[in-house]
Chain A
Amino acid sequence: MRPARRQVVVGAVVIAATVLPPLVSRVAPGFLDELLALRLAQAAAFAAMALSLNLLMGYAGQISLGHGALLAVGAYTSGILTGRFGLPFVAGLAAAAVLGGAVAFVVGLPALRLRGLYLAITTLGLLLVMQESILQIPWLSRGSAGVALPRPVAGDFVFTRNADFLALVLVVVIVLWLVDANVTRTRLGRAFRGLREDEQVAASRGVDVARHKLLAFLLSGAMAGVAGCLHGHLLRFVDSRTYDLNLSLLLVAVVVIGGLGSRLGVVLAGVGFGLLPEILRAITPAAEGWDHLLGAALLIVAMARHPEGVAGAITEARHAKAARQARAGVAESAPTEIPRLPELPRPAGAADRPAVAPGEALLEVRDLTVRFGGLTAVDHASISVPAGRIVGLIGPNGAGKTTLFNAVGGFVRTASGTVHLGGQRIDHLPPHERAARGLGRTFQRVGLARDLSVRENLLLSQHAICRYSAVAALGFLPGAARTEAEAGERADLAIAAIGFERFADMPAKHLSGGMQRIVEMACALVTAPELLLLDEPSAGMAPGAVENLAIRLRDLRDALGRTLLLVEHNVPLVLDVCDEIWVLHAGRVIAHGTPDEISRDPTVVEAYLGRNVPAEPVS
């Protein structure tokens, strides 16, 4: 949607939400009585809760079974501040957001070390602690009676009527929706989804995984605080049982049923499940309680059939169909012809990258040792890579090549040694900061966020050069909008360079293996890295494509003076394309030289190449 049109639509929706409920309830009370207004406001608050959990579970892939704890924080905070200390509603709302975010932040700290179901344990534990301990503290709840929340006051006007409060709830939900939309269209949302899919790949594209995990918890907690505050002021009274395990788990069901990561689906599912008890009661009193059973059953079915959720399954099927159709247009699904790879100039956001003259050492690894328990994977290895050259790293299986790559990228702990990039020492830096200094890489298994589209992958890869703050992202402030536009242009240039226009909006997982490799290369190149580490670029390629790959790699070196370091099992390719070669054996460097020297070196021939190797490189 064009920005101007978007503003008109948002403005119209806000005005409708503000004006309609109070007006209808006064002019035509038959259409909106107080009970219906209460139910609608509850449903809207429920949708807000679902949005909050969706941000955490759907985008960032972090499980929370205890979201009720954060809702309770919001309701209690605002209740105590407004009810007992007489502060205005706005202050209660703000404090609920801040405290909800703070509690979620602390809950998220274990997520830095733990993954998956371990988080389910800690969040379940938090809910139990909240219900049995914190919320029972006499000072907070004055016994176990709970907390009363007065309706907001604005001047002389009190939001006593449910229809008036409904308008307020709707406006806040719209604001949450807009913030959520800003998360998904900026580097924030891409980083969340990138780390959900593969933390190592996200980090190698410049995403600070720890920071963004905590940000996801913080934002989700703040939204939960707001939702809890609204819900509490709507009910006017909450106690420790209001936000129990049952509600927390129903939220999980709603988010999965709505489609993990689908904003509209989750809001619709939230409203639906918010109104369902009322609808069931209207049908027959015996149907009470069936909404939770239905939610649970759908959750189980969704997980057993389509782990990406019910709505996710629908989009999934649509994408798969589109991918088949688009691929049918291409002559072969595994291309033998590798398109020209993007050769973009250095981005503006990369001003502090090291500058190295061609021929001087760009990467300098000295005395590097990596141990896994008792096993020494890399043993005092020293290699250097001159700028503007293609350098090969070969060795038999288990020689330590990929481990050395991972040590350079910052993914394994080194026992000794240093790594310099362009004269700057980088071995103490986390992976995303190495990426920001111009280190790009590809992975042996294809390093793409599989659920993200080709274009989103290219945008994710520019994370390090999209320099705007989280606040700018949440508000989509001019700086963020400008940077996003530039990043979008670069992504489109890269897509055009590889000729993938028709696949641009397709999830990467629907492309063939060979096409995914090309997209991955484009992703690694879109920030114009100073040094590109390629881990087995020819793996899974047809022989014709490998020949072509050699041409493309030379293009990269010759057109813009890129520096490449490649690990490769395809010896003929390495001998053909590399300017110099390092040979690893059992973690040690056993030889270094030009392809000619290496193919004649007796130690290399014995250790690795085998005895019957042609003296002339095969091209």
Chain B
Amino acid sequence: MSQALVAGVVVGGIYGLMALGIVLVYKGARVLHFGQGEIGTLALFVAWWVVDERQGLGQPWLLGAAAAVVAAAAVSLVFERLVVARMVEASRLAIGVATVGLLLFLFSLELKLWGASPKYLAPPIEGLGPRVAGLHVSPTQVLALVSAAAIGLGLTAFLRRTDFGLGVLGAAQDPAAARLVGVPLARVSVFTWVVAGVLAAVAALLVEPTIGVFTAGFMTRFFVFALAAALIGGLTSLPGAFAGGIVVGILDQTVQYWSLGVPVPGLSVLAVFALILLVLLVRPQGLLGRAAA
């Protein structure tokens, strides 16, 4: 049980990272970015291609991770410039459907380039790791937890402490006023979309070792979990989204733990889906977000 809690906090931190991306884009553009998860999967394929010794280049993991992040940033940048930036006048719904198009595009591209067979990306650090207070904590889990916390805190600090970060938050609240005080809205938009893509890539790199293998569509599954996390924060609260990630992670792992041997598979997915419905129907403004007008 405690083992499930540890695993829950670890994957929860990863969901939280993706949820931060969802919230950033939602605050900035009032849009749900459905392509975000698949940007992570694409990054994972890039990392696999760089790292894998037999079918890829056989380079070190860190180089693969760097390439993954660069790829995610590049895809996000291109999508923002070519599509989002040209849809300033469009309805938010239309932009949302365009991100669905991005999701389908990346999904199909992965299938086309790398096929449907599962891929295995070696974890950054091998081994079982130390026992802490009687619990197994693998090096990968430690790495995931530390990176998620560091990135989450770092991003929040950047947004709250720097002029550009405050500009991002200000633009989210009132674009017209932000423009008047000189916030570069175009750059802010690029920033939010690119950061969302990079967060998805980092989350993908961190979550893959906990599963072991991945295929096309891998991260869109976790995108749904991250959506649940972001919804708990009302889609507008950054700390709420991260905390929501931990909640979803613990729910996911404990239900998996308790439902071993139950004849209905995938109960944790069912539980997360129920959580989404519950939050949407009972408290659409989230547990921590502010009520929308």
Contact = CB atoms under 8 A, between A and B. Distances in A.
B200 to A, nearest CB: 16
B34 A128 contact: no
B118 interface: no
A290 B92 CA distance: 28
Does more than half of chain B's interface fall in helix, strand or loop, or is it mixed? helix
Contacts of A134: 266
Contact of B83 (A128, A129, A304): A304
A537 interface: no
A357 interface: no
Interface string A251-264: 01100100000000
12 contacts: A113-B280, A117-B32, A120-B100, A125-B273, A128-B224, A128-B269, A129-B273, A245-B220, A252-B100, A289-B112, A292-B104, A303-B94
Contacts of A65: 34, 100
Interface string A287-316: 011101101110110011001000000000
Nearest to A132: B266
Given A63-B96, A125-B227, A307-B97, 10 more contacts: A118-B280, A120-B100, A121-B227, A128-B269, A129-B269, A133-B264, A138-B263, A300-B102, A303-B95, A304-B90
Find the residue from B32, B103, B266, B267 having the highest chain A CB count within 10 A. Answer: B266
Q: How many residues of A sit at the interface, in one of the four size bands?
A: 35 or more
A244 B217 contact: yes
Interface in B155-171: none
A339 interface: no
B260 interface: no
Interface string B243-287: 000000000000000000001111101101100110011001000
Contact of B105 (A139, A244, A245, A300): A300
Contacts of A118: 280, 284
B98 A303 contact: yes
B280 A129 contact: no
B87 interface: yes
A117 B280 CA distance: 12
Interface in A232-249: 244-246, 249
Contact of B101 (A133, A139, A296): A296
Contact of A246 (B83, B107, B280): B107
B93 interface: yes
Given A122-B280, A300-B98, A295 B104 contact: yes
Contacts, number: 147
Across the A-B interface, give the 9 residue pairs with the lowest CB-CB distance, nearest first.
A133-B266, A296-B105, A292-B108, A299-B101, A132-B266, A300-B101, A303-B98, A307-B94, A289-B112
Contact of B265 (A113, A133, A256): A133
Interface in A9-62: none
Contact of B96 (A116, A132, A245): A116
A307 B280 contact: no
Given A132-B266, A292-B108, A299 B97 contact: yes
A245 B263 CA distance: 25
A202 to B, nearest CB: 17
A122 B272 CA distance: 11
B187 interface: no
A303 B101 contact: yes
A114 B87 contact: no
Nearest to A253: B104
Interface string B201-242: 000000000000000110011001001000100000000000
A137 interface: yes
A299 B34 CA distance: 14
B31 interface: yes
A617 to B, nearest CB: 39
Given A137-B265, A300-B98, A304-B83, A122 B277 contact: yes
Interface string B77-118: 000001100110011111111101111110111011000000
A132 B217 CA distance: 13
B272 to A, nearest CB: 8
A246 B284 contact: no
A491 interface: no
Nearest to A126: B273
A110 B277 contact: yes
Contact of B108 (A126, A129, A136, A296): A296
B107 A63 contact: no
Interface string A145-177: 000000000000000000000000000000000
A485 to B, nearest CB: 36
Contacts of B95: 303
Contacts of B270: 129, 133
Contact of A120 (B34, B87, B269, B273): B34
A124 interface: yes
B259 to A, nearest CB: 10
B273 A253 contact: no
A93 to B, nearest CB: 28
Interface string A275-288: 00000000000001
Contacts of A138: 263
Given A245-B220, A246-B217, A296-B101, A116 B263 contact: no
Contacts of A136: 265-266
A584 interface: no
B279 to A, nearest CB: 10
Contacts of B267: 133
Nearest to B32: A117
Contact of A304 (B32, B98, B216, B227): B98
Nearest to B231: A121
A303 B97 contact: yes
Given A128-B273, A133-B264, A299-B97, A250 B104 contact: yes
Contacts of B31: 117
A279 to B, nearest CB: 17
B269 A293 contact: no
B91 A307 contact: yes
A118 B26 CA distance: 12
Nearest to A245: B217
Most interface-central of B87, B103, B104, B220 (chain A CB within 10 A)? B104
B103 A249 contact: yes
A65 B107 CA distance: 14
B266 A129 contact: yes
